[in-house]
Amino acid sequence: MDFEFATEHESFRKEFRDWLAANLPPELCLDDASDDRVASDRDTFERRRVWQKTMHAAGWVGITWPKEYGGRDAGLIERVIWDEEYTAARAPVLPGNMGLSLVGPTIIHWGTAEQKRRHLPAILNADDIWCQGFSEPGAGSDLASLRTRAVDQGDHFVVNGQKVWTSGAHFAHWIILLVRTNPDVPKHQGISCLLVPMATPGVAVRPLVLMTGHHHFNEVFFTDVVVPKANLLGPVNQGWKVSTTTLMYERHSAGGRSHTAQIARLIDLARQVEIDGRPAWDHPGIRQRLAQLAIDSEALKYTRLRSLTRQLRGEPPGPEGSVLKLSGSELGVRIADAAGELLGMHDGAGRAALVQPRAGRAAIHDLGRHERDPAQHHRRARARTAARLSRGAQAGSESRKLSSARSKASG
């Protein structure tokens, strides 16, 4: 098997890498962008919108979208290279990622000409930010049992119900919404998909606030919400097929993140931090642990390549996507734990962290900045621990629900 990229692909990589180096604002950089995938405040969100507009103007957004819809019509390999370079540059998750990766491609597949004209340019340019209204309190692992109801009133639907675990709903302008339009048929056959402005009267967003005050999940309530028939995506009562399209795009994009750069920074940190008068890297136990992280990261790399091979052959997604999502998340936690311990050693608190490794898991954010004030960064890392644990628990719950839904959809 040849793991080398073709000359034109390496040219694409260099072009994007050079552009990021020249244009990415340092203040937007994050060591673990997935942990802050939804901005923690409005100002950060707006700065990221400006960044997406800058990228779009330069032709670096929606690169795999067809040219007729504003993309570059690039191939899957270019998309993989884009992901690798964007992650390596420590760039933030784009605020329009939901629209770019899931909603936009679904509209391209199912949308009317008017829906494509209205929504696709706004998604690319971050003029419209989207959220996903699929899960409900009683319809997570069994998505088709959803109860949010849309009643046909001639030229419009009237929607009542609730969605939950809706990431970024407090920033979103639109929601792609699954509703039940026929309760008298088998559950998979009575669902429709609507495109709903979040500013519509009767739509209410209630934050799910973590113990630290931060939130990125929300509940969304619909009370007598009027949705025009023109906002129906796909045929009425065929929303399960539409949602399957969305979830398949999510499966194709899952697990693309690499941890190589984080581990390299962690190893560099281990060479600087001293334990008992010598660098942490010189201690066999620590060196073995970091080496294991590197080995596991390399194993995930080849799992990603297997997933890529399936897609290039035109085959349906296999188990690689689920493996990458689960194993990649766990590897990220282990890297963060190790970072917290090493930063703790920097100010004398490391031995406690060795006993309770998860106490420092959020310190991955400080890998590139520990030299300036290691003690301060370690204290900040510990202060963020509760938030990481809480967010991880809720994200894991939602991931399991969606994974189950995907399995049902593909089955």
Q: pLDDT digits over 203-262, tens only?
A: 999 999 877 677 889 999 999 999 999 999 999 999 999 998 887 776 555 445 678 878
What is the tens place of the pLDDT at every residue in 126-183? 999 999 999 999 887 899 999 999 999 999 999 999 999 999 999 999 999 999 999 9
Give the residue from 162, 163, 166, 167 showing the smallest Cα distance to 45.
Answer: 167
Which two structure tokens, joined as six digits, stand for 273?
A: 């931090």
Matching residue, tokens 């194709």: 252
Are the CB atoms for 83 and 122 separated by under 8 Å?
no
Q: Identify which has the larger pLDDT, 34 or 75.
A: 75
What is d(CA 348, CA 36) in angstroms, rounded to the nearest whole number?
A: 28
**pLDDT at residue 302 is higher than 60:** yes
How would residue 1 be classed by pLDDT, with cut points 50, 70 and 90?
low
Lowest mean pLDDT among 286-300, 312-326, 373-387: 373-387
Q: What are phi and psi of 324, to 5 degrees?
A: -65, -40
Residues in the chain: 411
**pLDDT at residue 93 is higher than 90:** yes
Which two structure tokens, joined as six digits, stand for 150?
A: 């849309």
Average pLDDT over all residues of the chain: 82
Map residue 194 onto helix, strand or coil: strand
How would residue 277 be classed by pLDDT, with cut points 50, 70 and 90?
confident
Which uninterrupted H or E stretch holds 110? helix 104-110
Map residue 397 onto helix, strand or coil: helix
Torsion angle defined by CA atoms of residues 34, 99, 406 and 74, in that order, rounded to the nearest 10 degrees: -90
Q: Identify which has the larger pLDDT, 35 or 201.
A: 201
Concerning whether 250 is annotated as a catalytic residue, the answer is yes
Per DSSP (E only), the strands in 98-217 are 130-133, 149-152, 156-163, 174-180, 191-197, 203-207
Are the CB atoms for 392 and 129 separated by under 8 Å?
no
What is d(CA 343, CA 364) in angstroms, rounded to the nearest whole number?
A: 9
What is d(CA 165, CA 53) in angstroms, rounded to the nearest whole number?
A: 27
Question: pTM to 2 decimals?
Answer: 0.74
What is d(CA 337, CA 130) in angstroms, rounded to the nearest whole number?
A: 33
Map residue 77 onto helix, strand or coil: helix
Catalytic entry in 78, 136, 250, 341: 250
What is d(CA 336, CA 266) in angstroms, rounded to the nearest whole number?
A: 9
End-to-end CA distance of the chain, in Å? 31
Which two structure tokens, joined as six digits, stand for 368?
A: 């590139």
